[in-house]
Amino acid sequence: MLISLRAMEYFTAVIRHGSIAKAAVELNIAASAVSTAIDQVEASFDLTLITRQRSRGIKANANGLAVARKFERLLEDYRSVIAEGADLKQALSGNLRIGYYAPIAPAFLPKILSSFVPKTNDISLDIEECDNDSAQNGLLNGQYDVILFVSEGARPSIEFDILVEAPAYCLLYESHSLATRSSVTIAEIAREPLVVLKRPVASTYYQNLFDELGHDPKIAAYANSTEMVRSLVGAEHGCAILNMLPQTATSYAGDRLVGLPISDPLPDLSLAIGYDKTRPRRLVQHFVEACRKHFSIAGPERCTVES
């Protein structure tokens, strides 16, 4: 039979006071509950641990005293763990585990983190790129404390806040004939070779943009990273459709790029932050607040192409 922490607490109170009545007063419970706890502890060990004396209360034997001492240590350890857990929740320290499916997260995530993580503080960061499904799995199974992901693919059990709504835009190399335009249409893009970001959520979203307007794009290449898409476009392999805009108009290879708004009415993609809203650690709360602040101050114009 398992012995509950409550039974341990009642038993040690009885040994400490030498009286069921006095233990009940201290614990603010009925004397019968204390007596029942004693019976449960003795039954668990199959030993007599105390002697009940009508006029003089109770007296523990050697076994009873030994058990009480062990219970006291267990209860002390338990209280210490609870206290440390409360401190951990409130402390701006520890490990912050971030999973992100945000193609341009390197453009804003380091700045967000530097806005609230002191150089001298006891904070370690574990930042991992993943796809949209893996990010959500990681949040649900405890792998991540917080995730950056596309909320259009959010599961019902994921709690999140939207940080920015990102409209689709067309990415072109600088010398492209369309690059001097103020905007382009899906029909014009469909006539060009297309470089597609092949990632969950993204590739389906981009294909639907063409399907809904009755166009069939000519695929020149698939790439599973935004920077490879940008580099392929910069090397004139075709144009691309993206949503989030990095803070540079140059590809990794040094080619100049141009992002133009798309004039057709198209659905946006939403960058969201997912986390446990019911009991977030202080460190998680600070990160969430820093993300909100960054995007409210920077505004969508810093990371999207507005029409």
Architecture of domain 5-90: Orthogonal Bundle (1.10)
Question: What average pLDDT does range 248-266 have in this prediction?
Answer: 94
Question: What average pLDDT does range 290-303 have in this prediction?
Answer: 79
**Mean pLDDT for the chain overall:** 87
Cβ-contact 284, 146 below 8 angstroms = yes
Residue of higher predicted confidence among 216 and 54:
216
Q: Give the pLDDT confidence score for residue 196 in this predicted structure.
A: 94
DSSP 103-129: TTHHHHHHHHHHTT--TTSSEEEEEEE
Question: What average pLDDT does range 210-220 have in this prediction?
Answer: 91
| pLDDT-based confidence at residue 84 (cuts at 50, 70, 90) | low
Question: What average pLDDT does range 139-162 have in this prediction?
Answer: 92
Q: Specify the CATH superfamily of domain 168-261.
A: Periplasmic binding protein-like II (3.40.190.10)
CATH topology of 94-165+269-302 equal to that of 168-261? yes
The ranges assigned to domains in the chain are 5-90, 94-165+269-302, 168-261
Domain spanning 94-165+269-302: which CATH class is it, in words? Answer: alpha beta
Question: What average pLDDT does range 197-205 have in this prediction?
Answer: 86
Provide, rounded to the nearest whole percent, the portion of the chain with pLDDT above 90.
44
The phi and psi torsions of 146 (rounded to 5 degrees) equal -155, 150
CA 28 to chain CA centroid, Å, is 41
Report strand pairing: 193-197 vs 269-275.
Answer: unpaired
The phi and psi torsions of 135 (rounded to 5 degrees) equal -60, -45
Model pLDDT for residues 21-76, shown as the tens digit of each residue: 888 888 889 988 888 988 888 888 888 888 887 666 788 888 888 888 888 888 87
Residue of higher predicted confidence among 103 and 186:
186
Q: Is the pLDDT of residue 88 over 60?
A: no
Question: What average pLDDT does range 189-202 have in this prediction?
Answer: 91
